[in-house]
Chain A
Amino acid sequence: MNFERLKEKLEILADAAKYDVSCSSSGGSRKNKKGALGDSSASGICHTYTEDGRCVSLLKILLTNHCIYDCAYCVSRSSNDIKRAGFTVEEVVDLTINFYRRNYIEGLFLSSGIFKNADTTMERLVRVAKKLRLEENFNGYIHLKSIPGASDELMQEAALYADRLSINIEIPTESGLKLLAPEKNRQDMLNPMKYIQNGISQYKDEKKIFRKVPKFAPAGQSTQMIVGATNENDLQIIKVADHFYKNYNLKRVYYSGYVPVLEDNRLPALTTAVPMLRENRLYQSDWLMRFYGFKAEEILDPNMPFLDLEVDPKLSWALRHLHQFPINLQTADYQMILRIPGIGVKTAQKIVSARRFQVLTIEHLKKLGAAVNRAKYFIDFTAGNIHLRHLTDINLRKLLIGGSTSKFQNQFSQQLTLF
């Protein structure tokens, strides 16, 4: 192994892959076979965090940053003058195994620039996964980025060896994609996704009848959208996400605030700040859709197509639906308790457990971990609640904002001027 050369390649190809956010390893389950290496459990482990605060659970690299396309938002695009490199299949396998053995990572997330054509590239990615599984007996997590336009046969193979597959749709709207990546078309992205989705549901049916069906993309599919490179609004973004959750059964939709890396008059200027607060709000909305039972239409409507930057989407919903409050902690059902600002899933569950033993007071609520400074305006306790007089106050919003500041506030100030 030529470590010097390997080091150089790793630097180039990790750097080029870092903007991809879909690295989560949750949802995989691959039990270790006796005497083999690795397993992946339902809740993946973040082994470390970068200085920007993102979790590192997988070795996330590109196979190569050579690319025949020229997408405006991408550092690897063909017209960009940068150092190019490419790993061999063996090198990727070796890095994965050796990092895994030292407990640095949960597995591999392999993506690639497109060289020659879609199938040649996809074939190489599949070969890495295959070698890891069949030759190295590796049961850790593997996430492959599918290449738009890859053939069904290759997708089939990919799904047999990888845990998760994803295709980034990148730009939320079709018109935006036309503008920034004119050589790409949406259908090429959707076809492989559809193929895998069918495969997964077929697998589920067969699994009911035969016990030993080989796993097929057991951790499902995900996708990613870049936010802030084009001028779509939040409602459009959430709707697209919702569409993918419903029609493609995606496990996750990721949002990546656009980091300006290239000078191009179709893109926000290089000095534009990363829209981090916006990205954060989108994740909060996503969370509400997946775990709190909110529908996309409840979070935003056409009259208000952007997420509130001052308050989080749940609080924003509550402020627009004051007539549904106060909520009685002792009697309300779980779904409604979940909608109280300042109360998360765990706290809601604890409330439902604890109230069987006794009548809850605001003191209990504090101890159970609720953000009482927010929640107190929305709850009716059996013993009464003096804070409720604010519920009808037009200044309630101010009262609430006064008590909280977002950790993203500063970074966002520049971005605000975009709209």
Chain B
Amino acid sequence: MTTLLYDGSFDGLFTAIFEVFEYRYKDVEIVSRERFYQENIFAEIHEVITQNEKAERVLNKLEQNIGKSGIHELLKVFLSEDIELEQLILSAVKQSIQHPDKNILQNYADHDMLKISKIGKSVSRERHRMTAFVRFEKMQDDVFFAKIDPDFNVLPLIRKHFKDRYQDQKWMIYDLKRNYGILYDLENCDFFYPDEKLDLQKYQQKFHDEETQYQTLWQRYFTRTNIVERKNLKLHIQHVPRRYWKYLTEKN
């Protein structure tokens, strides 16, 4: 058994996969350094140094076999932070190299491919919910600020959506759990990684003057648009699971 240690990045993972083929390893596991505990003391350790060209070579080859959308599926598995993500992606690459003429991801009868498709679905669902449930709050400095802490790391998947939508206002979406965010300043729309956790103390005092007014208007609208005769809380919670309520202005 050989354990390949990589730096936890997408390119790092694909460098590791390249090296699995390069060194013709048979029995391997790929683990990110952060997650690695040396339990299996008999394992041989292979340290992977991320090299973009190696990663590119695997990705290019893959793209020929499973297309851009296939790569996107694998990216979603990566962002799911699932404990099996490395093993699943490796399995997909191996199978795809064996059957270059088929889109192996569509073989839903295979255990690993079905799992990839399921994870992809969950990640997409959360991505979609984030485009819906992000609530911006206007701050004194005219930045529209939103806090999130999704189960999966979907921030990279929603950047384009918000970038296309809000071009004439400054905005920021911040992942409290993973401690990074996206900032759009009317020019650029980039990720940022603060050294320390953002200080959200006295957060509401930094609201723009009108902010609470619009929040109230929205809450009133939400209440009044409900049809009491048709109340169906079970359905409501199915659509808006409780764990998202903390994002929602209308639920607070």
Supplied contacts A46-B239, A104-B250, 7 more A-B pairs, CB within 8 Å: A7-B217, A34-B167, A37-B167, A47-B133, A50-B227, A103-B136, A274-B230
- A53 to chain B minimum Cβ distance, whole angstroms, is 3
Chain A residue nearest in CB terms to B111? A367
Q: Which 3 A-B pairs have the closest CB atoms?
A: A53-B235, A52-B230, A49-B239
- A55 in contact (CB, < 8 A): yes
- A39 in contact (CB, < 8 A): yes
- A359 to chain B minimum Cβ distance, whole angstroms, is 9
The 8 Å CB contact of B109, one of A47, A95, A357, is: A357
Taken together as a complex, chains A and B put the C-alpha atoms of A102 and B136 apart, in Å, by 4
Convert A17-40 into 0s and 1s, putting 1 for each residue whose CB lies closer than 8 angstroms to a CB of B: 111000000000001101111110
Taken together as a complex, chains A and B put the C-alpha atoms of A45 and B131 apart, in Å, by 8
- Chain A residues contacting B226 (CB-CB under 8 Å) are 18, 50-52
- Chain B residues contacting A10 (CB-CB under 8 Å) are 217, 220-221, 224
CB-CB contacts below 8 Å: A76-125 with B: 95, 98-99, 101-104
- A220 to chain B minimum Cβ distance, whole angstroms, is 22
6 contacts between A and B (CB under 8 A): A7-B216, A11-B220, A50-B236, A52-B235, A104-B249, A104-B250
Convert B38-55 into 0s and 1s, putting 1 for each residue whose CB lies closer than 8 angstroms to a CB of A: 000000000000000000
B108 touches A353 (CB 8 A): yes
- A407 in contact (CB, < 8 A): yes
Chain B: interface size category: 35 or more
- Chain B residues contacting A34 (CB-CB under 8 Å) are 167
B216 touches A102 (CB 8 A): no
- Chain A residues contacting B110 (CB-CB under 8 Å) are 357
Chain A residue nearest in CB terms to B221? A14
The 8 Å CB contact of B240, one of A18, A48, A353, is: A48
- Chain B residues contacting A36 (CB-CB under 8 Å) are 167-168
- B9 in contact (CB, < 8 A): no
A39 touches B249 (CB 8 A): no
- A419 to chain B minimum Cβ distance, whole angstroms, is 20
- A393 to chain B minimum Cβ distance, whole angstroms, is 31
A52 touches B231 (CB 8 A): yes
Convert B138-173 into 0s and 1s, putting 1 for each residue whose CB lies closer than 8 angstroms to a CB of A: 100000101000000000000000001111110000
The 8 Å CB contact of B227, one of A48, A52, A99, A368, is: A52
- B208 to chain A minimum Cβ distance, whole angstroms, is 11
- B179 in contact (CB, < 8 A): no
CB-CB contacts below 8 Å: B83-115 with A: 102, 106-110, 114
CB-CB contacts below 8 Å: A134-193 with B: 137
The 8 Å CB contact of A15, one of B106, B134, B224, is: B224
Chain B residues engaging chain A, CB cutoff 8 angstroms? 102, 106-110, 114, 128, 131-138, 144, 146, 164-169, 210, 213-214, 216-218, 220-222, 224-236, 238-240, 248-250
B249 touches A56 (CB 8 A): no
A37 touches B166 (CB 8 A): yes
The 8 Å CB contact of B107, one of A39, A104, A357, is: A357
- Chain A residues contacting B144 (CB-CB under 8 Å) are 101-102
- Which residue, of A49, A99, A259, has the highest number of chain B Cβ atoms within 10 A? A49
A53 touches B232 (CB 8 A): yes
CB-CB contacts below 8 Å: A350-367 with B: 350, 353-354, 357-358, 360, 364, 367
A39 touches B236 (CB 8 A): no
B224 touches A11 (CB 8 A): yes
Chain A residue nearest in CB terms to B161? A41
- Which residue, of B109, B214, B240, B248, has the highest number of chain A Cβ atoms within 10 A? B109
Taken together as a complex, chains A and B put the C-alpha atoms of A358 and B231 apart, in Å, by 46
Taken together as a complex, chains A and B put the C-alpha atoms of A45 and B127 apart, in Å, by 12
The 8 Å CB contact of A353, one of B106, B231, B236, B239, is: B106
- Which residue, of A39, A48, A99, A360, has the highest number of chain B Cβ atoms within 10 A? A48
B114 touches A367 (CB 8 A): yes
The 8 Å CB contact of A19, one of B134, B227, B232, is: B227
- Chain B residues contacting A401 (CB-CB under 8 Å) are none
Taken together as a complex, chains A and B put the C-alpha atoms of A11 and B165 apart, in Å, by 28
A18 touches B225 (CB 8 A): yes
Given contacts A46-B132, A354-B106, A360-B109, contact A56 B168 (CB under 8 A): no
- Chain B residues contacting A31 (CB-CB under 8 Å) are 164
B214 touches A99 (CB 8 A): yes
Taken together as a complex, chains A and B put the C-alpha atoms of A132 and B108 apart, in Å, by 47
B108 touches A47 (CB 8 A): no
A18 touches B224 (CB 8 A): yes
- Chain A residues contacting B132 (CB-CB under 8 Å) are 45-48
Given contacts A34-B167, A51-B236, contact A102 B135 (CB under 8 A): yes
- A59 in contact (CB, < 8 A): yes
B229 touches A259 (CB 8 A): yes
- B181 to chain A minimum Cβ distance, whole angstroms, is 15
Chain A residue nearest in CB terms to B233? A51
- A314 in contact (CB, < 8 A): no
Taken together as a complex, chains A and B put the C-alpha atoms of A240 and B7 apart, in Å, by 62
- Chain A residues contacting B221 (CB-CB under 8 Å) are 10, 14, 59
The 8 Å CB contact of A354, one of B108, B136, B227, B249, is: B108
- Chain B residues contacting A49 (CB-CB under 8 Å) are 235-236, 239-240
Chain A residue nearest in CB terms to B102? A357
CB-CB contacts below 8 Å: A314-360 with B: 350, 353-354, 357-358, 360
- A113 to chain B minimum Cβ distance, whole angstroms, is 17
- Chain A residues contacting B134 (CB-CB under 8 Å) are 103
Taken together as a complex, chains A and B put the C-alpha atoms of A51 and B226 apart, in Å, by 6
- A62 to chain B minimum Cβ distance, whole angstroms, is 12
A48 touches B222 (CB 8 A): yes
- A276 in contact (CB, < 8 A): yes
- Chain B residues contacting A273 (CB-CB under 8 Å) are 229
- B54 to chain A minimum Cβ distance, whole angstroms, is 30
Chain A residue nearest in CB terms to B239? A49
